[in-house]
Amino acid sequence: MMTSPLPERLHLGCGGFAVNGWLNSDGSWHVWLARWPRVRRVAIACGLLPHFHIDHPWPQTILHLDLRRKLPFPDNHFTAIYASHVLEHLERQAAVALLREARRCCRPGGVIRMAVPNLSVQVNDYLQGRILPEAPGHTPADTLLHRLHFRPAVTTGGRFQSLRRLYHHLYDFNSHKWGYDSTSLTALFREAGLSDALERQLLDSAIADISAIERPERIGDGGTLIVEAIKRDS
């Protein structure tokens, strides 16, 4: 159900982090299950939802929105669209389609800002020998791949395996599907018609009150890349 009136700022893939004054959205089942904490705990225990969310309740105000689909919003509405650590969860084709949709829903002069893990930082760390094995039997390459958050090396068995497979087939929202450096992310924006996309620093934005939504403790570790663009015409 859409809130009314529609807020002017859109937060995509917010996780459990809802920000006042923004339309907060996420595609996870956590959104549906926010009203039923016990069912949610069972879903987590069965491995259907990520365990790291177990102690973190999700606000019930979050809108359920699967970013692999068209955005259900009118043209030229939002003044800002923001996503932190979300775009890399989409296949590249879906990511460019999402940016096109974001551009459509943004009004001229509106800002689209995406923060993602910086692929070049991770690869440089690996090449410079700064990535150490994280677990016994791991090599630095294994650790790099683990940090890149591609699919896990082992598919867990146990009870509810078929259910889990089905869920992950339909809703594999946790693994990363693509990675970006500054050049490739600005190219992605350009492909979506956002030609003035530029890399920006933490909290350096045309979005008023960016500090309400951009959390230094989340993306201020030097490993996050931020690109922002302004929609120039309708």
Ligand X SMILES: C[S@@+](CC[C@H](N)C(=O)[O-])C[C@H]1O[C@@H](n2cnc3c(N)ncnc32)[C@H](O)[C@@H]1O
For ligand X, the binding residue among 84, 118, 186, 205 (CB under 6 A) is: 84
* 3-class secondary structure, 199: strand
100 binds ligand X per the rule CB under 6 A: no
Find out whether 230 and 196 touch, Cβ atoms under 8 Å: yes
For ligand X, the binding residue among 14, 48, 49, 213 (CB under 6 A) is: 14
66 binds ligand X per the rule CB under 6 A: yes
Residue 90 or 119 having the CB closest to ligand X: 90
Question: Which distant-in-sequence residues (6+ apart) come within 8 Å of 180 by Cβ?
Answer: 87, 88, 116, 118, 119, 188, 225
Rounded Cα–Cα distance for residues 189 and 100 (Å): 8
96 binds ligand X per the rule CB under 6 A: no
Q: Which stretch binds ligand X (CB under 6 A): 12-20, 118-126, 152-160, 178-186?
A: 12-20
Site pattern 120..149 for ligand X (x: CB under 6 A): ------------------------------
Rounded Cα–Cα distance for residues 86 and 174 (Å): 9
Residue 68 or 200 having the CB closest to ligand X: 68
Which phi and psi angles does 149 have, rounded to 5°? 60, 35
Rounded Cα–Cα distance for residues 177 and 95 (Å): 10
Min dist CB 225 to ligand X, Å, is 13
Min dist CB 61 to ligand X, Å, is 15
Min dist CB 64 to ligand X, Å, is 8
Structure tokens at 40: 């949610």
Name the residue number minimizing CB distance to ligand X.
27
Strands 106-117 and 78-84: parallel
For ligand X, the binding residue among 22, 173, 180, 189 (CB under 6 A) is: 173
Q: Which stretch binds ligand X (CB under 6 A): 7-15, 122-130, 162-170, 196-204?
A: 7-15
Residue with tokens 């929202």: 173
**Positive or negative: CA dihedral 114, 86, 222, 153:** negative
Rounded Cα–Cα distance for residues 29 and 42 (Å): 12
For ligand X, the binding residue among 47, 68, 142, 187 (CB under 6 A) is: 68
* Residues touching ligand X, count (CB under 6 A): 18
Q: Tell me, what amino acid is at 218?
A: R
Q: Tell me, what amino acid is at 222?
A: G
Structure tokens at 127: 């090449």
26 binds ligand X per the rule CB under 6 A: yes
Contacts to ligand X from residues 214-233, by CB under 6 A: 218
Binding site for ligand X (CB under 6 A): 13-15, 17, 26-28, 65-68, 84-86, 89-90, 173, 218
